[in-house]
Structure 1
Amino acid sequence: MDENTKTETMDDFKDELEASFRTIHEGDILTGTVISVSEEEATLDLKYYAPGIIKVSEFSNDPDFSILENIHVGDSLEATVISRDDGEGNIQLSMREANDMLAWDKFKEYLDNETTLQVKVKESVPSGVVAYLDGIRAFIPASQLSLNYVEDTAPYIGKELDVRVITADPSKEKLVLSAKVVAKEKEIEERNHRISMIVPGSIMEGTVETLMPYGAFVNLGDGLSGLVHVSQICERRIGKPSEVLKEGQKVKVKVLNTDNSKISLSMRALEEEMVDTSAEEAESISDYTSNEAASTSLGDLLKNFKLN
């Protein structure tokens, strides 16, 4: 083996050698790789002369946590040193304590970035439910479970929900989540898609649901409503929609546009089209009658004419 090979070999072990001689203190947060897992504990390679041990009770606050299901050989974990010697020469670690310290920084990022996360509801409590996010107990108020009012939260136990962090206060250990925020965004996205499928110029039927001084809102079904501006209600000038419309009235409307995910409607346009159609029909009938009269008149003249 030449000198260069010996140098490269020593360099390869340089970091490991330095790490093995570093000083570890209680309270330090270390990163290690899982090298074995049992029902009672996981063993970590810390790149140190002694391995790290995490007892199953030191993994998570989540009552449904399973060490055999959630921890695997090769996983990289962060854990807090709770003892430099567990009596058997191992460094005793707590992933739960490290998570309690580090998780709040992640929660703040989730809050700032409006990150959508998935949690499983564990229990029903007064005025809401409890779930666990990254091993930390979180509260979801009943008012934040759904778009609709939720009186009985028990049926939510065991359900998986898409949520957002809406409060993350480490000083009070207060973590609050909302499924309603995510559901509202999905509803708006689906509504906008349905609106995009409506073709301007289409004729639709709907029900007047609200009368305002500036116009009438018409329920078109499928969760969609459109506005008939007061100037688009009829040809004649009116002061307010209630002069010619009433709530609950069935109407036909023409779609003017769907700009900015809003549906603009017109009843006046249909009136104008009916007038134009009537005028065209009248003109057509007039032409037909005129020709008919000329033809009949000529027939009458020749009907009794005889040639010898």
Structure 2
Amino acid sequence: MEDYAKELEASFRSIKEGDIITGTVIAVNEEGAILDLQYYAQGVIKAEDMSSDPNFNILEDVKTGDTIEATVVKTDDGEGNILLSKKEAVQVLAWDILKGYMDEKKSIQVKISEIVKAGAVAFVEGIRGFIPASQLSLTYVEDLEPWLGKQLEVRVITVDQEKNKLVLSAKAIEKEKAEAEINHKISMLAPGTILEGTVESLMPYGAFISLPEGLSGLVHISQISQRRIKKPSEVLNTGDKVKVKVLNTNDGKISLSMKAVEENTEADEMEAHQAEEYSSKEEATTSLGDLFKKLKL
């Protein structure tokens, strides 16, 4: 009954040149692939009509059971089969898919197939994509040759079908990962923590301090010194080693205070001094008491 239903359905189908149809791969060889189209005739895609990617290998990249969308080139190839082209279908369908990738900010794996002036080339959904050298990594890339054949996680950042322009970026993903790591480290900082850092830059409103774990925080000018200053350079120089106290970590930013460290130090010194005085008085009192105990009246 199932076979009869399929035949009945096929009898009502009409396939014409230019249609994009879907089929299941039932055989693959070096020359091409044969597809079951749920139709009276089978579909045939020649190897050269599969992909524009120079790294494409039909025996490795196409498997029995794969579902493929392809454009009808001829309804009869001379042997009763329907001649198809996946490359043509890609040109129609891929741009919408790529636009979706860009809108979703989807991360995709690609392999760099070519090094060109100012960047690299990788294919996505059968479309040639360009990765500018500035978008290969967070760090500056001077020599592009070692990147040939490298697998990269990228994001689609430009899709322009009219200009046949597809631009990819690995840097965008690396930047997000780095920001997430920094935000995690910041979230682990408890207010009140005392850290040692280095003055990395001075601004009219305060000083930026380089901290351990690749973090950076700001000491507002009002938190630099206990005495009133007009500008940070009155008491600080770039490269100075300083101790700072974490005030808060709101909105992924670290607010620091040098003044609070000074206040803590003074309070600790005063407490230690008072404890020492108390200890000395107690010792003196005890010694005097001992003397009276030894007196015989």
Structure 1 residue 298, shift from structure 2 partner: 6.0
**Residue 166 of structure 2 corresponds to residue 175 of structure 1:** yes
Letter in 2 for 1:278: E
Show the 5 A alignment for 1:100-179.
100-179=91-170
Letter in 2 for 1:185: E
Structure 1 residue 97, shift from structure 2 partner: 0.6
1:186 equivalent among 177, 183, 208: 177
Aligned to 1:232: 223
Name the CA distance, whole Å, in 2 between partners of 1:298 and 1:74.
101
Q: Does the CA-based 8 Å contact 1:20-1:47 persist in structure 2?
A: no
**Residue 207 of structure 2 corresponds to residue 216 of structure 1:** yes
Structure 1 residue 286, shift from structure 2 partner: 2.2
- SS of the aligned residue for 1:237 comes to coil
Kindly report the root-mean-square deviation, in angstroms, between the aligned alpha carbons of the 2 structures. 2.0
**Residue 89 of structure 2 corresponds to residue 98 of structure 1:** yes
2:234 equivalent among 213, 236, 243: 243
2:196 equivalent among 169, 188, 205: 205
Letter in 2 for 1:115: K
Aligned to 1:36: 27
Letter in 1 for 2:166: L
- Over alpha carbons, which structure has the higher Rg? 1
Q: Does the CA-based 8 Å contact 1:21-1:48 persist in structure 2?
A: no
- SS of the aligned residue for 1:111 comes to helix
Matched length: 297
Letter in 2 for 1:50: A
Structure 1 residue 206, shift from structure 2 partner: 0.6
Letter in 2 for 1:258: T
Name the CA distance, whole Å, in 2 between partners of 1:136 and 1:88.
31
Letter in 2 for 1:213: P
**Residue 252 of structure 2 corresponds to residue 266 of structure 1:** no
Structure 2 unaligned residues grouped into runs of 5+: none
Structure 1 unaligned residues grouped into runs of 5+: 1-8
| % same residue | 58
38 and 296 in structure 1: CA distance in 2 versus 1, 3 angstrom threshold: same
Structure 1 residue 104, shift from structure 2 partner: 0.2
Structure 1 residue 141, shift from structure 2 partner: 0.6
2:43 equivalent among 52, 61, 76: 52
Letter in 1 for 2:223: Q
Structure 1 residue 91, shift from structure 2 partner: 0.6
Name the CA distance, whole Å, in 1 between partners of 2:144 and 2:213.
28
297 and 39 in structure 1: CA distance in 2 versus 1, 3 angstrom threshold: same
Name the CA distance, whole Å, in 2 between partners of 1:53 and 1:288.
98
Structure 1 residue 163, shift from structure 2 partner: 0.8
Show the 5 A alignment for 1:11-26.
13-14=4-5, 16-26=7-17
Q: Structure 1, residues 208-233: CA drift from partner, whole Å, max 9, x if none? A: 00111111111013221111111111
